């Protein structure tokens, strides 16, 4: 493990506009502020202050995610989310980038993109570093990105035969990212009325339902058979059921709370203390109606 007296030199400015837009897309997808400063024009600054504050010792996990042998690509993710950042459980925001100058013994990490990754303990293909983040132009003093560190990182995407166990770890990691990003809510029944699809949905409590409401406005929202989830009441992605077809939903219209007692029979087996039921309505494209009976 490296000492906290070493520096990780990072350049966020070279691709500033691209990084700003990536953060804006992430915040829009979550449907609520991620950083304390709710300013869409200053998201990159908020991100840097939260995760890479200069002069403050931080722990990160670093990996070699290069796809081409001639182009070194590194991924750095924080070991822990800052308390002021509002991200879904199990998700953090890391950076991917390249070294510049490429042939320098003490380069900077130029950030090419900000990536959503799973917040979890370090994987076998990652190294743990304790560093001070430095955004200055002078990147020669106690630089953690020395050739010795880079040489120790497994080339996950290049050495698939020599490092098959690392490759499997990497694939498991990527798959977990995808599965944790999938969100869903249980519905009790569905009906079509006046070219609108109505659902009675259930959440563990009202607070959880309010947190899930942002999903209803997603452009890629679909409804799937109940057997698509591993758990009867909470959404758990069922990998073996990926072949089930879903119905794309149209625009979200509204959501109205209803009395859960009216669904006593349908709630049989539900162990939640105070389940919250609501009626939600979506527009449905006419050419999707024939798929409903299969659900």
The answer to whether residues 73 and 98 touch, using CB atoms and an 8 Å cutoff, is: yes
pTM of this prediction? Answer: 0.57
* pLDDT band at residue 166 using 50, 70 and 90 as cut-offs: low
pLDDT for res 113: 93
pLDDT at 62: 95
User: Cα separation of 230 and 224, whole Å?
Assistant: 13
State how far the alpha carbon of 12 is from the alpha carbons of 26, 35, 77, 119, in Å: 17, 18, 15, 22
- Mean pLDDT confidence for 12-30: 88
Extents of the domains making up the chain: 7-181, 186-294
The β-bridge partners of 223 are: 247
CB 23 within 8 A of CB 41: no
Query: To the nearest whole percent, how much of the chain has pLDDT over 90?
Result: 26
Burial of 31 (0-12, 13-18, 19+ CB in 10 A): middle
Task: Kindly state the average pLDDT of the residues 88-102.
Answer: 89
């Amino acid at each position: 493990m490296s000492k906290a007296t070493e520096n990780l030199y990072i350049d966020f400015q070279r691709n500033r506009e691209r990084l700003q837009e990536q953060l804006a897309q992430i915040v829009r997808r979550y449907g609520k502020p991620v950083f304390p400063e709710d300013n869409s024009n200053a998201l990159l600054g908020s991100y840097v202050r939260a995760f890479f504050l200069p002069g403050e010792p931080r722990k990160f996990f670093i990996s070699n995610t290069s796809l081409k042998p001639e182009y070194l690509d590194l991924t750095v993710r924080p070991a822990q989310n800052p308390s002021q950042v509002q991200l879904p459980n199990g998700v953090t925001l890391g950076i991917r980038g390249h070294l510049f100058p490429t042939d320098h013994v003490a380069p900077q990490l130029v950030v090419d993109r900000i990536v959503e990754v799973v917040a979890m303990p370090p994987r076998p293909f990652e190294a743990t570093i304790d560093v001070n983040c430095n955004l200055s132009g002078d990147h020669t003093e106690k630089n953690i990105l020395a050739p010795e560190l880079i040489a120790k990182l497994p080339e996950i995407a290049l050495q698939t035969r020599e490092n098959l166990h690392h490759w499997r770890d990497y694939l498991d990691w990527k798959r977990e990212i995808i599965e944790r990003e999938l969100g869903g809510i249980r519905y009790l029944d569905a009906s079509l009325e006046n070219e609108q699809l109505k659902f009675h949905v259930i959440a563990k409590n009202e607070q959880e339902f309010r947190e899930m409401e942002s999903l209803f406005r997603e452009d890629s929202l679909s409804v799937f058979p109940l057997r698509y989830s591993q758990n009867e009441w909470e959404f758990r992605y069922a990998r073996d059921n990926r072949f089930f077809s879903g119905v794309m939903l149209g625009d979200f219209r509204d959501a109205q709370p209803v009395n859960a007692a009216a669904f006593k029979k349908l709630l049989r087996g539900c162990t939640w203390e105070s389940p919250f039921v609501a009626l939600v309505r979506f527009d449905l494209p006419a050419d999707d109606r024939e798929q409903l009976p299969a659900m």
